[in-house]
Structure 1
């Protein structure tokens, strides 16, 4: 029976030991313990780690022997004892190497030579350069022994990326283009691939698929973790590029959140001298002066691609949706990874086919929340149509908004209205009215009716005094919201909008740019975006023309206030002798009525009494004081 050929690890170990023995013999000759040289070991058919390392880092014969001298101290006890005999210390020096090893050359230990540039060896502190101790880097020592692992100095900075996501055809086309670009390059340097867009998980999937097809690993690095200090930054670059050579890896730099100008400069400096295979994922295109960078725009999969991804991920369970998959695709604009995760989750949780569609819808909503919860305030809707006291024309417009959201796919995609332009496809809405007139409640009702999440964004906190920062804040919100078509409620629009005045300086021009950017994103947003304002007259008519629905929320008259008061107290709240007609004389909006009723309930609860007119009177005084408004006698005459 023919014996098995030895494994590569055995061949590698034998070759390394033979190479160490050759260097050891050179030391013995120098110590006059031997007089004849030994031939170098025969090179196996499969290259051992030592030879691979010498070739990729272009080590000279002397540099190879010097590296082995440092390795021998760690691997062979006889090495250490002989070095102690020769120089009276446990680690070799450059002085010893120059004297004992053949073909010695001084420049082997310069900072730009391979041994020190690639951090293959380190010089410990000593009196002089040639008498300082030399140590082999631990990652290099293990590599010579055939042990593969990520350099410990890169732990916590880079993370391995593996994808099992099925790419849509448009993303696979990008993968094919990147492969072709890298394979057909004329320069030894690989062009850096700039993946542009807001969809980080798609960037990762495209980069990982590219690397898997080329048989290399992929790691990711957050751009924020690149050191600003020049020396530290250069050390990180060299350590990574050394790792990329040793392990056959590419790097994906996540620059999707580099809003800080210093971070941006640091990233550009890092990339200018970057020489290995790499991707940069960013929202906006990057440009480099001394390095080739090729941009690929990564968009979300289109509706047909998403539907195919859903069908593949759900498998036979797709039939349980009863034809509602098109509605899910229309509402939730998920990336491939999000579709896969949602499918896996709902398949694990759902046992009843009757609840499958509802559970999938709710799971899709959860997918989006993780992206938006840090950027905006999610409001849990509790209001219903019966709670909203508005004139009938306003209620009818709200119902039209519901229909517009529900039938968006039918009109824009099937009927072709969305084929010509993406502008104007968003459902833009303005709620105009004083504080407490029901604007937020109306948004809650829309969210409840459409079974969508409602997020409130205070525009006064989004607007920045720094030029460009407001658009950046808005972009982050819209990019995160696109996945689920959530309802965005931009409160306090007065902070951004206003009568367009004569442009006098750069700040005036930029104020108009900010407004235009918000409206442009609202117009192209795939969901419902609502602006609220207390002062409709303060908004320029040119801006109003770009908003599809404008709903005035009037101050409630006596009859409407009566209806509000009649519905204000829950059935389980004990009340006694309340005269709602008299309460309706209070000249305040619905929000203030709720505050008065709630405060009166607390006052009554403290006395262990039902809510009575006297409790409401005390609460009314408090509310009017808060509003800095006098409570007229006519409003409360005959209450008590």
Structure 2
């Protein structure tokens, strides 16, 4: 705000204060007829009105809520009791009761000009929009009236949000430029915001609230990224001179006082000259009951309503316009990277754009974080890791992030399995070239995802292999617990899976779905409704895997229980067999860290025990604890004792050699 703007605002506040005082003085004369001062009050009103360069707050309220002169004066009468100490005594004197210090409708009907009974009707603005609250009394006319605190502050020229909406509604500021070369939105998003602004103008021009019997314009915004939808909505509203208030549809539906909240929302939107953004990502397209409830609650609100959801929802009547909002396109992200990092190599920018799907604020934040990494850090690696960190928070809330510790040297697998893992890593590294330069992405996203199945008994290295891939590709690895995502409620499993994939898209992280047989059982014939919806859940997961830009890995201990039709929709299947004697010998040689005090181990003898890689790790760790407690190096007797305990744990009886 410039100094001139600040001075204009100060001048308006002073003129508004004088105008309000003059209006209250005129009302005081009406409460005490014959007391004199009417002419002076009229002159004061005229002088204060001349000093106002913009409408006074009370006149704005009257215009915004279409109040009659009597309704405006009734509202001022209630404000007077709060602002002028003499008003309470005047109200009591006018009502002939020293205890009746609050204004009543009976007093207003008797003292104020142009009085009409409908001013305090349930559907009239004073009560419907919660401008005035009616207290307990013998009758409606004798009940005490009180002005809402939010409206009182507004009339006095003070902007103070409604306390009862704090935590439920948040103002959304339009995205501001971060640097002179930066646009508030990506060009495609800015163009979309302009189209939405045009739609809002057209909806208002075609009738708005008056022509549609109180119905407000509704605009539907869909897309995978809630932040982009919110930013575009804010820019669109700013283009038509409106602010934006964001509200969670799910939070509204859960409120016991939802009807009152909606009235307060409507009043807040009017007073703040804002549209309402209903964020309905928690509502599913099939959840018609809750969507209908939210639609009924919002019905009749003044001003535009924008409904933001991943998929198009119908909250009440159909929207006046619908738009799909996307994150900045790949070319726009590349252009932004070149603005932020003009010295960066084109190959680095291509890799960043191929891997990460970042909007402008996240992109600039990553660049700033990389710049502060220090002189000793590789700038390309620092930038890559900063992008990972920007894409990480949403996924961390839904999954368990695993820090990769394994390397290729730790994997003891047949050469065929190792070759398959190398092919997976290569395909992910080269996906930008194949999808973009070779044109495969132009045919659609379906089938471009790198879905992989890791099949084999427990402890054969499936999770370790995922760690190796994450380390090789320098990507985050997130374990997804399917047991936590699968719900017995229809539609909830798909909703949970959608949240995971939508969050993962920003960084194309590696998703590890452990024990996929929990969801991927053999379909066979559909015997009941549960089977039918279970198949729908599996189909949805496979559909998202096929379109996912990153790498999704499913693991199973029971490949025979998987439907072969599912395997055809995965690009890679890597089988992890039980290790043979040679592999077990290699695992035993790697089982103890170099610093561990190991003495006299017979690796060839240990390799004869039928143990998986996971069990060998367990035995080695248990033996180390036994030796540490005894204060000796790790010897063969410690390892054999630990092996006996592992066999007992597995229910396999005595320790025996292969085939023994």
Q: TM-score range by the shorter chain?
A: over 0.9
For 2:217 and 2:18, how far apart are their aligned partners in 1? 39
Do the aligned residues in 1 keep the contact of 2:587 with 2:613 (CA within 8 Å)? yes
Residue 146 of structure 1 corresponds to: 157
Q: 1:224/1:511 Cα in 2 relative to 1: closer, same or farther (>3 Å)?
A: closer
For 1:504 and 1:153, how far apart are their aligned partners in 2? 51
Residue 297 of structure 1 corresponds to: 324
For 2:37 and 2:637, how far apart are their aligned partners in 1? 114
For 2:549 and 2:315, how far apart are their aligned partners in 1? 33
Deviations 1:453-472 (A, max 9, x none): 11112323322232222212
For 1:397 and 1:634, how far apart are their aligned partners in 2? 31
Do the aligned residues in 1 keep the contact of 2:208 with 2:217 (CA within 8 Å)? no
Q: Residue 60 of structure 1: CA displacement?
A: 1.8
Q: Residue 439 of structure 1: CA displacement?
A: 0.8
Deviations 1:376-421 (A, max 9, x none): 1111111111111111121111111111011110111011111112
Residue 14 of structure 1 corresponds to: 18
Residue 279 of structure 1 corresponds to: 306
Aligned mate of 2:85, from 77, 94, 98: 77
Residue 92 of structure 1 corresponds to: 103
Any unmatched runs of 5+ in structure 1? Answer: none
Q: 1:63/1:632 Cα in 2 relative to 1: closer, same or farther (>3 Å)?
A: closer
Residue 344 of structure 1 corresponds to: 368
For 2:453 and 2:20, how far apart are their aligned partners in 1? 75
Do the aligned residues in 2 keep the contact of 1:20 with 1:69 (CA within 8 Å)? yes
Q: 1:276/1:381 Cα in 2 relative to 1: closer, same or farther (>3 Å)?
A: same
Residues 24-173 of structure 1 mapped to structure 2, 5 A cutoff? 24-29=28-33, 32-33=34-35, 41-42=45-46, 44=50, 46-87=54-95, 88=98, 89-162=100-173, 163-164=175-176, 166-173=184-191
Residue 557 of structure 1 corresponds to: 580
Q: Residue 227 of structure 1: CA displacement?
A: 5.1
Aligned mate of 1:593, from 613, 616, 621: 616
Any unmatched runs of 5+ in structure 2? Answer: 1-6, 178-183, 210-215
Do the aligned residues in 2 keep the contact of 1:199 with 1:335 (CA within 8 Å)? no
Q: 1:633/1:497 Cα in 2 relative to 1: closer, same or farther (>3 Å)?
A: closer
Q: 1:498/1:138 Cα in 2 relative to 1: closer, same or farther (>3 Å)?
A: closer
Q: Residue 547 of structure 1: CA displacement?
A: 1.2
Residues 304-323 of structure 1 mapped to structure 2, 5 A cutoff? 304-312=331-339, 314=340, 317-321=341-345, 323=347
Q: Residue 320 of structure 1: CA displacement?
A: 4.0
Deviations 1:129-155 (A, max 9, x none): 222222222222222222223222322
Q: Does 1:361 align with 2:388?
A: no
For 2:486 and 2:430, how far apart are their aligned partners in 1? 33
Moved more, 52-61 or 443-452: 52-61
Q: Residue 633 of structure 1: CA displacement?
A: 4.5
Residues 468-487 of structure 1 mapped to structure 2, 5 A cutoff? 468-487=491-510
Q: Does 1:333 align with 2:357?
A: yes
For 1:532 and 1:75, how far apart are their aligned partners in 2? 70
For 2:280 and 2:18, how far apart are their aligned partners in 1? 45
Q: 1:603/1:261 Cα in 2 relative to 1: closer, same or farther (>3 Å)?
A: farther
Deviations 1:29-61 (A, max 9, x none): 2xx545988758445463222222112212222
Q: Residue 578 of structure 1: CA displacement?
A: 0.5
Do the aligned residues in 2 keep the contact of 1:381 with 1:454 (CA within 8 Å)? yes
For 1:290 and 1:431, how far apart are their aligned partners in 2? 48
Q: 1:36/1:535 Cα in 2 relative to 1: closer, same or farther (>3 Å)?
A: closer
Query: 1:404 is paired with a residue of what secondary structure?
Result: helix
Q: Does 1:409 align with 2:432?
A: yes
Do the aligned residues in 2 keep the contact of 1:371 with 1:480 (CA within 8 Å)? yes
Matched positions, count: 627
Q: 1:628/1:8 Cα in 2 relative to 1: closer, same or farther (>3 Å)?
A: same
State TM-score, norm by structure 2.
0.90
RMSD over aligned Cα, in angstroms?
Answer: 2.4
